[in-house]
Amino acid sequence: MKNLVILGAGTSGTMMANHLSHKLSKDDWKITIVDQYKTHYYQPGFLFLPFDIYKKKDVKKKGEKYLPKGVRYVNQKIDQIFAEENKIKLEHEYLEYDILIIATGTKIAPEEIEGMKDKEWHKSIFDFYTYEGSVALRDKLRNWQGGKLVVHITEMPIKCPVAPLEFAFLADSYFKNKGMRDKVEIEFVTPLDGAFTKPKATAALHYLLEDKHIKEITDFNIERIDNNKKIMYDYSGKEVKFDLLVTVPTNLGDEVIEKSGLGDDMNFVPTHKGTLQTKANKNIFAIGDATNLPASKAGSVAHFEAEILTENILLYINGKELKDEFDGHANCFIETGNGKALLIDFNYTQEPVEGTFPFPGVGPLSLLKESRMNHMGKMAFKWIYWNMLVKGIHIPFVSATMTKKGKKIEA
Amino acid sequence: MQKIIANTTVEVTEQGYLEDFNQWTKEIGTEIAKEKEIEMTDEHWKVITYLQEKHKNEEALSVRGIKKSGVVNIKEFYSLFPGGPLKISTMIAGIPKPKSCI
Ligand SMILES: Cc1cc2nc3c(=O)[nH]c(=O)nc-3n(C[C@H](O)[C@H](O)[C@H](O)COP(=O)(O)OP(=O)(O)OC[C@H]3O[C@@H](n4cnc5c(N)ncnc54)[C@H](O)[C@@H]3O)c2cc1C
């Protein structure tokens, strides 16, 4: 009997457990998956929870429900990976493996910035990248009387890089609906040179910021926050004052990666970008937010990776050459408020352009253009996530590698 | 597009970053620095060497990485390359402008 161990039962780990339990012979392989929590969180929902669009029950489910029978589900913290010995130390036991899949994701590290996780944390300084942060922010917004709202990115890379912008758009709608938009000033502060990270998207979408009266402050590299004065300072001496700060702190890989000597500066696992094999060991693979791939850290990316990683694990077991196929395919809905959304579809080399998706020329979803249909897509994503995506069911008409069909690409 | 830097013809992006790191020489680096009104010192070159190493190993550049590197702290980094330290130093180093840029 051989052992395949998956570390992390979030989006990627759960998908891999589902894929592999169908493909590996039960007589030859035992699959074990480890996570510190019994709960599986739907992180894209953390964007909607603060605005009372989703309820707690929309974003929290029992992890067990989404894992196939026959897979051993261990709820313990992972302490260290001993890559040379093919062994892992958990809180209460050791596990041995023949193949290891790292899917420990990324999490926020507000302690990286002086004054961020201080006395104003979850009082006037919030994150919405954790369940706790998102709920605390909801409670704050319900009673907030207005003032200056600053939506802020600490440093890149962050998972779901468009989420902070969506937050700013949704905040605009939320305050309009509450009849208090005139009492709120919204500022978007980013270390990048624009709100959108790709040039075509910037050109097509900049009007959104103007229409919604969201002020953009770029090239702001935060050094520290003064909790008494409620001011953020940047390394070059710039200041941003806030009444309510919603920040996305530095995103890092888990400490277990650092402790095991398997990470880069940000504790992300150096991984071969086409095959998803780690650079450190042939029998260790990595997927999703835990990797250092130059792709977006998003559930949709993990979904495309999972299809290719499943094939590669089978090739590896049979001693065959791995497929060097993953192209960085990402597909993201961007909420723009007022019941509309955008859709972008891109990969390592192709930046988002206009067109239709998934059917070239027909749609129904339009790329890089605001529409109600896209918003329905984003809302349907929750259903797709719980019922298809994490279960490893292929989403019809959407391929793992990006298609250029239906896209307006300039030569 | 093409540009002549330190008497050598090189391929650069619209923003002035070298397309091919193999074309880089110390003279080219010095010349780009001059355009940015920076006089290169040993301190500057230490940073440039660090960035080039990271690039060769395909490792992403980040503020945290620089903090941890021990090569410079962020304040010094700003005073060596005023304005946008990572944007300017990567240009001098002949490597692509990082996406996560300061
Ligand atoms: C606000 C927000 C909005 C988003 N919106 C979208 C969206 O619209 N579309 C989209 O595609 N993606 C979106 N994402 C991103 C998406 O949620 C992630 O990319 C996806 O969950 C990554 O999956 P993963 O399995 O790699 O990591 P995760 O799902 O984060 O799973 C990692 C798991 O590993 C476990 N773990 C880590 N370390 C340890 C340890 N030491 N011991 C035990 N267990 C451990 C964790 O408990 C966790 O369960 C959003 C994310 C956020 C925060």
Chain A residues with CB under 8 Å of B64 CB are: 112, 155, 250, 252, 265-266
Least confident of A285-294, A301-310, A353-362: A353-362
Q: Do B59 and A292 touch (CB under 8 A)?
A: yes
Q: Given CB atoms, is A267 within the 8 Å cutoff of chain B? A: no
According to DSSP, the β-strands at A147-153 and A340-346 are unpaired
Identify the active-site residue in B60, B63, B74, B101. B101
Q: Is A49 in the pocket of ligand 1 (CB under 6 A)?
A: no
- The average pLDDT across A113-121 equals 97
Please report the beta strands in chain B, taking only residues with DSSP state E, as ranges in sequence order.
Answer: 2-5, 8-11
- Give the span between the Cα atoms of B98 and B91, in whole angstroms: 10
More reliable by pLDDT, B41 or B62: B41
- The pTM (predicted TM-score) of the whole model is 0.91
Cβ burial A38-71 (10 Å sphere, 16+ → b, else e): eebbbbbbbbbbbbebbeeeebeeebeebbbeeb
Residue A272, number of CB atoms within 10 A of its CB? 17
- Alpha-carbon radius of gyration of chain B: 13
Q: Is A8 in the pocket of ligand 1 (CB under 6 A)?
A: yes
Task: Report whether pLDDT(A27) > 60.
Answer: yes
Domains (ranges, CATH) in chain A?
2-50+59-107+253-317 (3.50.50.60), 108-251 (3.50.50.60), 331-389 (no CATH)
Chain B residues with CB under 8 Å of A266 CB are: 60, 62, 64-65
Predicted pLDDT of residue A343: 86
- The average pLDDT across A230-244 equals 94
Q: Do A191 and B74 touch (CB under 8 A)?
A: no
Least confident of A16-25, A101-110, A234-243, B54-63: B54-63
- Give the span between the Cα atoms of A216 and A104, in whole angstroms: 33
More reliable by pLDDT, A140 or A364: A140
A233 is written with which tokens?
Answer: 């300072």
Q: Given CB atoms, is B96 within the 8 Å cutoff of chain A? A: no
Q: Is A297 in the pocket of ligand 1 (CB under 6 A)?
A: yes
State pLDDT tens for residues A139-152: 999 999 999 999 99
- The average pLDDT across A356-373 equals 79
More reliable by pLDDT, A285 or A371: A285
Active site residue B85: no
More reliable by pLDDT, A202 or A218: A218
- The average pLDDT across B21-44 equals 96
3-state SS class at A200: helix
Please report the beta strands in A132-271, taking only residues with DSSP state E, as ranges in sequence order.
Answer: 147-153, 184-189, 214-217, 222-226, 231-234, 239-241, 244-248, 251-253
Q: Which is nearest to A7 in space by CA: A301, A275, A260?
A: A260
Distance B71 CA to ligand 1 centre (A): 33
A34 is written with which tokens?
Answer: 């480890």
- The average pLDDT across A104-128 equals 97
Predicted pLDDT of residue A29: 98
Distance B98 CA to ligand 1 centre (A): 24
Predicted pLDDT of residue B102: 46
Predicted pLDDT of residue A378: 82
Model confidence at A156, pLDDT cuts 50, 70, 90, reads confident
Predicted pLDDT of residue B100: 55
State pLDDT tens for residues B84-95: 888 899 999 999
Q: Which is nearest to A376 in space by CA: A331, A330, A343?
A: A343
More reliable by pLDDT, A25 or A384: A25
The CA distance from A138 to the nearest CA of chain B, in Å, is: 29
**Closest-CA residue in chain B for A295?**
B99
Q: Which is nearest to A79 in space by CA: A259, A300, A343?
A: A259
Least confident of A80-89, A122-131, A303-312, A400-409: A400-409
Q: Is A254 in the pocket of ligand 1 (CB under 6 A)?
A: yes
Question: Which of A156, A219, A252 shows the shortest C-beta gap to B100?
Answer: A156
Q: Do B74 and A235 touch (CB under 8 A)?
A: yes
State pLDDT tens for residues A68-79: 999 999 999 999
User: Contact, A160 vs A288, CB < 8 A?
Assistant: no
Predicted pLDDT of residue A178: 97
Distance A9 CA to ligand 1 centre (A): 9
- Give the span between the Cα atoms of A295 and A348, in whole angstroms: 6
State pLDDT tens for residues A171-211: 999 999 999 999 999 999 998 888 876 677 777 778 899 99
More reliable by pLDDT, A322 or B14: A322
Beta bridge partners of A39: A62
Q: Compute the mean pLDDT over every residue in chain A, rounded to the nearest whole number.
A: 92
Model confidence at A213, pLDDT cuts 50, 70, 90, reads very high
Predicted pLDDT of residue B101: 47
Predicted pLDDT of residue A411: 55
Interface test with B, best of A154, A192, A236, A351 (most B CBs within 10 A): A236
Q: Is A44 in the pocket of ligand 1 (CB under 6 A)?
A: yes
Q: Is A166 in the pocket of ligand 1 (CB under 6 A)?
A: no
User: Contact, A46 vs A59, CB < 8 A?
Assistant: yes
Percentage of the residues of chain B whose pLDDT score is greater than 70: 96
- The average pLDDT across A380-396 equals 84
Chain A residues with CB under 8 Å of B51 CB are: none
Q: Given CB atoms, is A237 within the 8 Å cutoff of chain B? A: no
Chain A residues with CB under 8 Å of B68 CB are: 265
Distance A108 CA to ligand 1 centre (A): 11
Q: Is A163 in the pocket of ligand 1 (CB under 6 A)?
A: yes
Chain B residues with CB under 8 Å of A193 CB are: 101
Predicted pLDDT of residue A410: 67
